[in-house]
């Protein structure tokens, strides 16, 4: 994930992902720090953990950039450069105990499902990208 600092300068941050449906926000007791977590249902939005927001210096309403995971396989830069602009809909409080969001830095509502790794829900947690 990247944050655009100047017209041609982006800072890159490591992250882990999960996709989820809106009802899980209530089931897992996500606590809003800023913004509106329910805006996650809107296209091109993400919610991010408080710790990632602090590391990146971003707030609700700011833009972040994700790699283009649909790039051609023969492209050596596939997945390694900022390509897809997403708006931070909200920031959620870090979880004190292991839960879906405790292991993930940002969550989307399936509009970036291809970012999730192949880790099973029945295994150690949720799909995530490392």
DSSP of 15-45, one letter per residue? --EEE--THHHHHTT--EEEE-GGGGGSTTE
* Residue entry with tokens 């999730």: 116
Coil vs helix vs strand at 12: strand
Between residues 109 and 117, which one has the greater pLDDT? 109
Query: Cα–Cα–Cα angle for 99, 101, 104, nearest 5°?
Result: 120
**Can you give the pTM of this predicted structure?**
0.68
Instruction: With residue 4 as reference, give the H or E element that holds it.
Output: strand 2-6
Between residues 102 and 90, which one has the greater pLDDT? 90
Mean pLDDT calculated for residue range 77-81: 72
Q: Which two tokens stand for residue 106?
A: 């940002």
**7-31 pLDDT, tens per residue?**
889 888 887 777 888 888 888 888 9
Specify the pLDDT at position 105: 63
Between residues 107 and 1, which one has the greater pLDDT? 1
């Amino acid at each position: 994930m990247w944050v655009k600092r100047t017209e041609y300068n982006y800072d890159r941050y490591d992250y882990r992902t999960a996709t989820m449906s809106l009802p899980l926000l209530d089931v897992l007791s996500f606590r809003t720090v800023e913004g509106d977590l329910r805006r996650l249902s809107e296209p091109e939005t993400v919610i991010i953990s408080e710790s990632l927001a602090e590391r990146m210096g971003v707030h609700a309403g700011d833009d972040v950039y994700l790699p283009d995971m649909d790039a051609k396989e023969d492209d050596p830069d596939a997945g390694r450069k900022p390509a897809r602009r997403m708006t931070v809909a909200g920031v959620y409080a870090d979880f004190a105990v292991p839960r879906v969001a405790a292991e993930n830095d940002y969550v989307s509502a399936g509009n970036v499902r291809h970012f999730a790794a192949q880790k099973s829900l029945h295994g150690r947690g949720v799909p995530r990208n490392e």
